[in-house]
Amino acid sequence: MWFDVLGVPKTLPISPEGSEMETAFQDGKEEVIQAWYMDDSEEDQRLPHHREPKEFVSLGKLAELGIVSWRLNPDDYENDEDLKKIREARGYSYTDICDVCPEKLPNYEAKLKSFFEEHLHTDEEIRYCLEGSGYFDVRDKNECWIRIAVKKGGMIVLPAGIYHRFTLDTNNYIKAMRLFVGEPVWTPYNRPHDHLPARIDD
Report yes or no on 23 lying in a domain. Answer: no
Report yes or no on 16 lying in a domain. Answer: no
Is residue 119 marked as binding?
Answer: yes
Report the distance separating Cα 152 and Cα 128, nearest Å: 8
Report yes or no on 117 lying in a domain. Answer: yes
Report yes or no on 24 lying in a domain. Answer: no
Is residue 164 marked as binding?
Answer: yes
For the chain, what is the mean pLDDT? 87
Q: What is the pLDDT of residue 6?
A: 45
Report yes or no on 13 lying in a domain. Answer: no
> Is residue 159 within 8 Å of residue 67, measured between CB atoms?
yes
Cβ burial 158-196 (10 Å sphere, 16+ → b, else e)? bbbbbbbbbbbbeebbbbbbbbbbeeeeeebbeeebeeb
Using 50, 70 and 90 to split pLDDT, how confident is the model at 21?
confident
Using 50, 70 and 90 to split pLDDT, how confident is the model at 56?
very high
Report the distance separating Cα 62 and Cα 169, nearest Å: 20
* Integer angstrom CA distances of residue 28 from 32, 82, 153, 173: 8, 15, 10, 22
CATH at 155: 2.60.120.10
Report the distance separating Cα 168 and Cα 180, nearest Å: 21
* Closest to 146 (Cα-Cα) out of 66, 82, 79: 66
Query: To the nearest whole percent, how much of the chain has pLDDT over 70?
Result: 83
Structural domain range at position 92:
30-201
Report yes or no on 183 lying in a domain. Answer: yes
Report the distance separating Cα 55 and Cα 39, nearest Å: 10
Report yes or no on 22 lying in a domain. Answer: no
DSSP letter string over 12-40? PPPPGGGTGGGGSS-TTGGGTEEEEEB--
Report yes or no on 8 lying in a domain. Answer: no
Predicted confidence (pLDDT) per residue in 122-159, tens digit? 899 999 999 999 999 999 999 999 999 999 999 999 99
Is residue 50 marked as binding?
Answer: no
Number of domains, the chain: 1
pTM of the model: 0.86
